[in-house]
Amino acid sequence: NAGVTQTPKFRILKIGQSMTLQCTQDMNHNYMYWYRQDPGMGLKLIYYSVGAGITDKGEVPNGYNVSRSTTEDFPLRLELAAPSQTSVYFCASSHGQGGTNEKLFFGSGTQLSVL
Amino acid sequence: GQSLEQPSEVTAVEGAIVQINCTYQTSGFYGLSWYQQHDGGAPTFLSYNGLDGLEETGRFSSFLSRSDSYGYLLLQELQMKDSASYFCAVRSLDSNYQLIWGAGTKLIIKP
C-alpha cells in the first residue's frame, strides 16, 4: 500500500542543470499535482493533471514542465535550474475534487537545492 | 484577488483546547480544507467543509461560515504529537478550482 511515491528525496543541482522529479501513485487517482513549498510558506501549485494526457498550469509554472502518459505517473521536469527553484517539492493525488473526493494524498517530498 | 489569512503561530498547553482561524477572500468559493504538517513531513488531510457548519472527526473539528468567509479548526485534548503546522486551503473559481493555501499556523504545545 505505497500511496504516492516521490524520488529522489534530496538533490543538489548546479545552476543551469536539468533534472526530473519522479512521482507515481498506486491508488488509481485521476488527479495529480505538483506543489512547491518555500520555508515558512504554504504550498504553491506548479502543474496539475486531471487524467492521462491532460495537464494544466498552476500558479507558478515557469521553469517547469510535466507530462502524464499514464494514470500512475506524473514526472516534473526542471530545465535550466535556477537558485529561485530551491524549495521542497511535493507530488499529490486525489480521486477527484470537492466533497468526499477532496482529500489530497501527498508524497514524502523532494528537497531540492540549486547552487 | 484572492487571499487566505491565518495566524502564524499559536501556543497552547497539553490537554487544552485551541482554535486556529482562517479567513479568506475569493470568488466562487467551493470549499475549505485543513491539513496538518509535521516538521520535515508531508501535509496530511484533516477535514473538509463544503457547507456551513461543524464537521467533527475525533479530537478535531472544523467549522465554516460562508457568509463570513471564515472557518476554524478546533483541536481538543491537545497532545504533544499535535505540535505541527496547520494549513487552511480554499478551492475557488479564482484559482481555476485548484486549491489556494494559507501560509500555515505553527502550533506550539507546552507541557
pLDDT band at B30 (very low <50, low <70, confident <90, very high): confident
Report in angstroms the alpha-carbon separations of B103 from A14, A17, A40, B34. Answer: 29, 30, 7, 12
Nearest CB partner across the interface for A108, out of B42, B96, B98? B42
Arithmetic mean of pLDDT, B92-106? 89
Answer whether residue B2 shows pLDDT above 80: no
Cβ separation B98–A40 shorter than 8 A = no
CA B24, B25, B26, B32: dihedral to nearest 10 degrees?
Answer: 10
Cβ separation A104–B45 shorter than 8 A = yes
Alpha-carbon span A7 to A9, nearest angstrom: 5
Alpha-carbon span B77 to A69, nearest angstrom: 46
Alpha-carbon span B109 to B85, nearest angstrom: 11
| Residue showing cell 519522479 | A22
Q: Which of B96, B98, B100 is the best substitution to test chain A (most A C-beta atoms within 10 A)?
A: B98
pLDDT tens by residue, chain A, 115 residues:
789 999 999 999 999 999 999 999 999 999 999 999 998 889 999 999 999 999 999 999 999 999 999 999 999 999 999 999 999 999 999 998 877 778 999 999 999 999 9
Q: What is the pLDDT of residue A35?
A: 98
* Burial zone of A111 (CB within 10 Å; 0-12 exposed, 13-18 middle, 19+ buried): middle
Cβ separation A102–B104 shorter than 8 A = no
Cβ separation B89–A40 shorter than 8 A = no
Predicted confidence (pLDDT) per residue in B37-75, tens digit: 999 999 999 999 999 999 999 999 999 999 999 999 999
